[in-house]
């Protein structure tokens, strides 16, 4: 690979036409306002690696919200401004977003007030970023549209496949970068550079991750578990002894690796069968913390500072997952109705996690449940029961439930048999009709 200076043609080939036109429009508009604008961060990294990434982040040397507002007006899009941080986001009608931020350091226009440093403002902005591969910018204004600004060797690190921080205090400034580093390393199959690795180990030995606020820890874990190569990430976190910052009992052993392998197989099957996309990180989260009891899960949630609905949902999913594993294990007779009774009302992510923990030999059960059992409903309904003369009451629910059970277990198959069963139940209960 060769290092490039102007990547305008790469920008055009890697981004959809619409997006590269948007970038040109932003460049022209910024220029007409006397501002410099740059495309920055992850999207630049991904363009250089020829990956798709539609997270468009713009840094402006000057008033970013002013540019965003003019741009939104031009495109008849919505804009929302964050006054304190001098940022703004433009949201198009179809939901496509462009983020605008004011470069972190003031741009010295008056030569007498500051040393003449070319691109001082954007350079400083990039210097505050996490890794060299994430600290590049593409100029959108002026004749050199597409000019790559790479002050810290990001391009070389992409070629060499290295994750490198920009300075020795990077992990001290923001220890959550330890987790981000793992995420990017596994995503791209990069190694952590030797000096960066030393700094990372040092940060771990100083327990700097304890200082990271809970919500950030939670989000970084969620992002890691959302990566295709999350298992590699967990193994890397184990190697660097970082797992304990989530929970002192958190361990990755061969048993868990086997569970993750079964989950992968199940999810492969699922995505082949069904259209909807599962939130894979949820299943992975359940398996990862499967050994925790209620008390320990509560502790984890308080470490993550998650409360309210977020906590309720996650805890509900997790406990149902645990309970399902326990219930299936103690079933003497694995009947369709029993399985349906256990899995019904669970998020699919929790069901797949439960089956992964139960093991490969339960895979057929999951397939039956997801493709057949969960769609089984009685053919008769309340109207049929009414026509039979059964007076409406709570008994309807009971009858329909029993019909569903019998149907699931293949004790009955036709509507006539359902009606017979309804009649039998009603008579057994002594209902007069």
Chain positions contacting ligand ATP, by CB under 6 A: 41-42, 53, 55, 129-130, 134-135, 174, 176-177, 180
- Least separation in angstroms between residue 188's CB and ligand ATP is 10
54/117 with CB nearer ligand ATP? 54
- Least separation in angstroms between residue 61's CB and ligand ATP is 17
- Least separation in angstroms between residue 138's CB and ligand ATP is 13
- Helix (H), strand (E), coil (C) string for the chain: CCCCCECHHHHHHHCCHHHHHHHHHHHHHHHHCCCEEEEECHHHHHHHCCCCCCCEEEEEECCHHHHHHHHHHHHCCEEEEECCCCEEEEECCCCCEEEEEECCCCCCCCCCCCCCCCCHHHHHHHHCCCEHHHCCEEECCCCCCCEEECCCCHHHHHHHCEECECCCCHHHHCCCHHHHHHHHHHHHCCEECHHHHHHHHHHHHCCHHHHCCHHHHHHHHHHHHHCCCHHHHHHHHHHCCCHHHCCCCCCCCHHHHHHHHHHHHHHHHHHHHCCCCCCHHHHHHHHHCCCCCHHHHHHHHHHCCCCHHHHHHHHHHHHHHHHHHHHHHCCCCCCHHHHHHHHCCCCHHHHHHHHHHHCHHHHHHHHHHHHCHHHCCCCCCHHHHHHCCCCCCCHHHHHHHHHHHHHHCCCCCCHHHHHHHHHHHHHHCCCCC
55/416 with CB nearer ligand ATP? 55
State how far the Cα of 286 lies from the Cα of 226, in Å rounded to an integer.
13
Contact status, residue 365 vs residue 397, Cβ threshold 8 Å: no
42/341 with CB nearer ligand ATP? 42
> Which residue's beta carbon is nearest to the bound ligand ATP?
42
55/344 with CB nearer ligand ATP? 55
- Least separation in angstroms between residue 129's CB and ligand ATP is 4
177/347 with CB nearer ligand ATP? 177
55/420 with CB nearer ligand ATP? 55
53/105 with CB nearer ligand ATP? 53
- Least separation in angstroms between residue 222's CB and ligand ATP is 11
281/318 with CB nearer ligand ATP? 281
Q: Mutual orientation of helices 308-329 and 294-303 as an angle, nearest 10°?
A: 150
- Least separation in angstroms between residue 343's CB and ligand ATP is 33
- Least separation in angstroms between residue 10's CB and ligand ATP is 17
- Least separation in angstroms between residue 416's CB and ligand ATP is 58
Contact status, residue 86 vs residue 65, Cβ threshold 8 Å: yes
- Least separation in angstroms between residue 55's CB and ligand ATP is 5
- Least separation in angstroms between residue 425's CB and ligand ATP is 56
39/328 with CB nearer ligand ATP? 39
53/124 with CB nearer ligand ATP? 53
Q: What is the CA radius of gyration of the chain?
A: 29
């Amino acid at each position: 690979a060769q290092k490039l200076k102007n990547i305008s043609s790469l920008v055009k080939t890697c981004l959809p036409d619409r997006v590269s036109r948007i970038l040109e429009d932003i460049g022209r508009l910024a220029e007409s306002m006397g501002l410099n604008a740059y495309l920055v961060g992850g999207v630049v990294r991904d363009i250089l690696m020829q990956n798709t990434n539609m997270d468009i982040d713009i840094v402006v040397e000057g008033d970013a919200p002013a540019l965003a507002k003019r741009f939104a007006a031009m495109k008849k899009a919505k804009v929302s401004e964050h006054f304190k941080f001098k940022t703004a986001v433009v949201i198009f009608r179809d939901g496509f977003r462009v983020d605008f931020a004011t470069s972190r350091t003031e741009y010295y226009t008056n030569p007498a007030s500051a040393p003449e440093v070319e691109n001082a403002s954007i350079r400083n902005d990039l210097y505050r970023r996490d890794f060299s591969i994430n600290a590049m910018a593409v100029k959108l204004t002026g004749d050199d549209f597409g000019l790559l600004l790479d002050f810290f060797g990001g391009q070389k690190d992409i070629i060499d496949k290295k994750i490198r921080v920009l300075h020795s205090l990077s992990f001290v400034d923001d220890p959550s970068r330890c987790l981000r580093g793992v995420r990017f390393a596994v995503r791209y199959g990069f190694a952590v550079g030797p000096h960066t690795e030393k700094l990372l180990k040092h940060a771990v030995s100083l327990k700097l991750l304890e200082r990271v606020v809970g919500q950030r820890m939670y989000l970084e874990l969620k992002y890691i578990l959302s990566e295709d190569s999350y298992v590699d990430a967990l193994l890397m976190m184990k190697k660097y002894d970082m797992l304990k910052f989530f929970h002192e009992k958190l361990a990755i052993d061969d048993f868990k690796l086997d569970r993750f392998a079964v989950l992968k197989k199940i999810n492969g099957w699922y995505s082949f069968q069904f259209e909807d996309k599962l939130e894979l990180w949820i299943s992975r989260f359940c398996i990862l913390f499967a050994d925790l009891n209620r008390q320990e899960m509560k502790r984890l949630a308080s470490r993550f500072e998650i409360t309210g609905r977020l906590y309720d949902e996650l805890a509900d999913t997790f406990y149902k997952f645990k309970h399902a594993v326990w219930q299936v294990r103690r079933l003497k007779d694995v009947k369709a109705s029993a399985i349906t009774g256990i899995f019904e009302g669970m998020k699919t992510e929790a069901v797949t996690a439960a089956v992964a923990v139960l093991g490969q030999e339960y895979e057929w059960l999951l397939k039956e449940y997801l493709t057949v059992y969960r769609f089984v409903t009685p053919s008769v309904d309340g109207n049929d029961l009414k026509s039979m003369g059964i007076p409406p009451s709570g008994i309807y629910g009971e009858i329909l439930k029993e019909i569903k059970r019998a149907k699931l277990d293949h004790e009955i198959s036709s509507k006539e048999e359902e009606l017979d069963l309804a009649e039998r139940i009603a008579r057994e209960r002594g209902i007069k009709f």
